[in-house]
Structure 1
Amino acid sequence: MHALDILGDPVRRRLIELLAHGDQSSGALTDVVRAEFGISQPAVSNHLRVLRDAGFARSVPAGSRRIYSLSGDRMTEAQAWVDEQLGFWTNRLDALDTELLRGRKEER
């Protein structure tokens, strides 16, 4: 599955944002996401599993808890795709800007 397919879900994006601030327990992540999105604990666990299975996050057991952290490899893949698209559109928009400026000069 493409990295952006995983990040297309707002709950998973929020989990990534939370993990960007540092490692967190599944309980802490669940508390925040349940409060913001109104979804059940099992639903949050499913989203965490998707992130883990897709390589965006990893977890380690710590007693009766699981501690989640970000895994950067898939984020790099998403960033590469965004950079490629940005380069394409930046070139196109620069060309459009040039043509619009030429049109304005010709009108004078």
Structure 2
Amino acid sequence: MVIIEVLRCEHCGAPLDVTPEDIIVVCHYCGYPNAYDKVFTEKNVFFVESLPKKEILRLFWERVKKDPDYSGIRGKIKVIKVEGVYVPFWFGIVKGQGQMRYVVYEKKGS
């Protein structure tokens, strides 16, 4: 007999869709970030909302239209696949102390 444990959201109790690679799972029901490792918490990890593929394509074509480097090949570009990748980042806070000096220059007349 196999017992499967269902992991639930710490905030609302909804079941979470997880894979073995997941470190943090955002609940599909309430949006709460659930962390397996207590090093990662909502206080020290920033979450960026993902974009749907249609929005990514729209932004891509908008960029192609505005970029002069693409002017000669705009009609020849064909999107084959839209993929994303998870890239782990460590974020930190750096505090400093010091002095700053600046000068404002004004030009008068013509």
State the TM-score, normalized to the length of structure 1. 0.23
The structure carrying a bigger strand percent of its residues is 1
Higher relative CO (CA 8 A, sep ≥ 6), structure 1 or 2? 1
The structure carrying a bigger helix percent of its residues is 1
